[in-house]
Structures are given as C-alpha cells and as structure tokens.
Amino acid sequence: MKFLGSKTMETDRLILRAQTMTEQKRLWEILMIPEVNKYFLTVSPKIREKLKEWGKQKTFYEDDMKHANDDNVFRWSIFLKDTGECIGRISCHERREEDDNINDPNIRGVGWIIDPKFQGCGYGTEAAKAMIDFMFLECEIEQIITGAAICNPASWRIMEKLGFERQEATNMIQYTFLDELIEDYSYVMTKERYLSLNLPSRRK
C-alpha cells in the first residue's frame, strides 16, 4: 500500500482534514454522548472511566496530535463546508488494533462518528465514501474488515450502501461503555470488489 497519510479531501458538503488539537475537545464532547459511544469501540471497558475526564484526555490528545500528519495515520476530522463546524471524525486504522491475528497494514478497519445534531443527513455516508475511495484507489490497500452492532443500523447501512459484503457469522463484541456483549454483523470489502462496483466518486 501507499502511505499517503490523512490527505485533505473535499466532497459536496464536507471537508475532511488531518486532525488538529483545535477540534479535539469538541470531538471528545461528541464521543461522550451515550448514543454516540454506545456501539463505538474505543478502549477496554476497564479504563472507560478515564475517558470521561477531559483533563486526562487532553494530555492523550496532545500527544496523539503530534502524529496527526504522519504518513501512516489515516484519521480525519469532518467539517461542514458551509459553516466550518466540526461535526465528526472518521478513520481507517490497521485491523490489527482489533484483531491480534492480523499483522498486515493492507488490511484495515474503519470507524466513524457524527454529532447527533447532524445525523441522518447523509454526512456519514458522504465522508465514508470519500475515505474508502481514497484508501482503495490512492493508498491501494487490499481489504477492509469491519463490523457494526446489529442494533446500530445507522452504521451498517453505510457499509451496505457502499457494497461491503455481510458475512454469515456474527460476532459478540465487548463495547467500551456497555457491560453486556453485543451481537455484531461483520463486513468485508476487498480492493477487487470495490473496483468492480465502480461506484460514483463522492470526492471533488
């Protein structure tokens, strides 16, 4: 694959930019909304309480932002073109972060959050399409393996609309902020499949 980093991308209504410290507090506030973090995997539940204190998180994000422009980091803040407001975050991380058995940066996972005030307007789909285009067409990754809680259709609808293949087997997932295990659909997209779908580009 080509390590091109979090290149700025423009869609009809959005700008996706490498992250900076400026919007981290806003994004953390969005992530702390229960309806946003419920089916979103961040850290082990053992340390979930630490996520709730901005004082502790600020230091983590300050360190993290030192690498925001590294060529192996694929994580963007999502801004509305019209107002410049930051409404979410999207990433394409190495799948090994979720699965120890995978040791190949060409195989990746995805993550997305949109501020509930702006959900249901198609922004999640628009950002996801732009990122997935970039990852397959420019970075030339081989595969994305991902999942979403069955009870979280807003997320798996994006995967289905973009042509990801739902696998037969489901997985039980321990989400960060929930005590019980949640049943997830699992989805796969390969480079060959993505190219064969020939979806219209969302990027400008």
Ligand X SMILES: CC(C)(COP(=O)(O)OP(=O)(O)OC[C@H]1O[C@@H](n2cnc3c(N)ncnc32)[C@H](O)[C@@H]1OP(=O)(O)O)[C@@H](O)C(=O)NCCC(=O)NCCS
Nearest Cα neighbor of 164 from 141, 139, 147, 142 is: 147
Residue keyed to tokens 């930051």: 86
Nearest Cα neighbor of 188 from 108, 115, 114, 125 is: 108
Question: Residue 154, interface with ligand X (CB under 6 A)?
Answer: yes
Tell me how far, at minimum, the Cβ of 58 lies from ligand X, in Å.
22
Positions in 86-115 near ligand X (CB under 6 A): 112-114
Binding string, residues 115-144; x marks residues near ligand X by CB under 6 A: ----xxxxxxx-------------------
Residue keyed to tokens 């994580």: 75
Alpha-carbon Rg for the chain, nearest whole angstrom, is 16
Question: Residue 157, interface with ligand X (CB under 6 A)?
Answer: yes
Instruction: Give the integer Cα–Cα distance in Å for 144 and 85.
Output: 29
Among 153, 165, 174, 204, binds ligand X (CB under 6 A): 153
Instruction: Give the integer Cα–Cα distance in Å for 143 and 193.
Output: 9
> CB nearest ligand X: which residue?
124
Question: Residue 188, interface with ligand X (CB under 6 A)?
Answer: no
* Contacting residues toward ligand X, per CB under 6 A: 36, 39-40, 112-114, 119-125, 148, 152-155, 157-158, 161
